[in-house]
Homo-oligomer: A and B are copies of this chain.
């Protein structure tokens, strides 16, 4: 045995191309000649089905680095059947939104946080790095070109989807010598019916993330395993899955969202609690961070990032100490949860845990939803969270 030189223990997931980035200054614009068709009724928009007219498309190559960014007509990619993304899921993405404000200005919500996270996801996926500022300038330009498609209502928005994936045509498992960075947008209505609470299925047998895994990154690989589980949840009339991790059943996420509990804790304090991100088990959400920051700013209750287990939560619900439970995410903003179906196969128990979120006297989730959407739509100014796209 020998001691490890500390350099050997360093965890570095840097790609070889870290020094360079694509540049907004190199942008080539090829305006679209087609217009997407949209439903005339905005309530028929749904989520992520209607796309705008343009796409950012940037190729990367290990030798050449980043090629000039293009904004061009939204159309299909031409992908080699052996492109690594189609086999080994070497892919990352982001989700953020642009809103048409009450003052007519278009605002993007905290996009620099999404770009920083995308870069972390890329590093963990052995995909190339890029510059946050350059990416934001390109996204501004994309939104500007499709500005007439940003819905002029506070019931809808333009959902922006940056993505990067490995394109090298080689089925050996390993670093990709080629990649593509792209970004398109979708005209998007409500994600949930907020009048009804969401029902969650909590089943400790189905585990989304684990210590030593990649649960904290927005990598495509975190989502594929959840789809069949989501279908199973639907059989139980649950809209989303609540993810538990480890032997002690840590509460981590719900669906693809973060989660918050407003409860009277065991010390009899009113407390807003959410699991911490340092476990590596959950995604550090932009809405999650914003909820935490606003709640701390308001200073009306204790606000904690602290781990809690499903048995602890279940006991608190049974003892009627849980007032509200809500999920947070870019698509949903804030969504109230009314029931957790706790399925403990090990003990052959199925328990319906009702949470009075919708009738809570605090209505904290509603206040938070309003506060966030007020910032989104420019009803309230919070300039450091509002990136204005000059049209």
Q: Which residues of A contact B (CB under 8 A)?
A: 1-4, 8-9, 11-13, 46-49, 51, 55, 74, 76-82, 85-91, 93, 95, 123-126, 159, 161, 163, 165, 169-176, 182, 184, 186, 204-207, 210-214, 219-228, 230-232, 236, 255-256, 343, 345, 348-352
Cβ-neighbour of A76 out of B80, B93, B165 (below 8 A):
B80
Contact of B74 with A76 in the complex, beta carbons under 8 Å: no
Copies in the complex: 2
Contact of B230 with A224 in the complex, beta carbons under 8 Å: no
Contact of B207 with A225 in the complex, beta carbons under 8 Å: no
Contact of B220 with A214 in the complex, beta carbons under 8 Å: no
Q: A1-B349, A171-B186 are in contact. Are A224 and B91 (CB under 8 A)?
A: yes
Contact of A126 with B207 in the complex, beta carbons under 8 Å: no
Residues of B within 8 A of A95 (CB): 171
Kindly state the separation between the CA atoms of A351 and B93 in the bound complex, as whole angstroms: 38
Residues of B within 8 A of A351 (CB): 1-2
Kindly state the separation between the CA atoms of A214 and B231 in the bound complex, as whole angstroms: 16
> Smallest CB-CB separation from A218: which chain B residue?
B87
Contact of A89 with B8 in the complex, beta carbons under 8 Å: no
Kindly state the separation between the CA atoms of A267 and B24 in the bound complex, as whole angstroms: 67
Q: A11-B232, A349-B1 are in contact. Are A175 and B227 (CB under 8 A)?
A: yes
Kindly state the separation between the CA atoms of A29 and B164 in the bound complex, as whole angstroms: 34
Nearest Cβ on chain B to A275's Cβ, whole angstroms: 17
Residues of B within 8 A of A205 (CB): 11, 212
Report the 6 A-B pairs with minimum CB-CB distance, sorted nearest first: A207-B212, A48-B171, A89-B220, A221-B221, A89-B89, A88-B223
Q: A161-B82, A186-B82, A348-B3 are in contact. Are A214 and B225 (CB under 8 A)?
A: yes
Cβ-neighbour of A91 out of B81, B87, B163 (below 8 A):
B87
Nearest Cβ on chain B to A29's Cβ, whole angstroms: 18
Seed contacts A76-B79, A77-B78; 20 additional CB < 8 Å A-B pairs = A3-B350, A48-B170, A48-B171, A51-B81, A55-B81, A78-B79, A82-B184, A82-B186, A86-B163, A86-B165, A88-B224, A90-B224, A124-B228, A125-B228, A173-B223, A173-B226, A173-B230, A174-B230, A221-B221, A221-B225
Cβ-neighbour of A220 out of B82, B207, B221, B232 (below 8 A):
B221
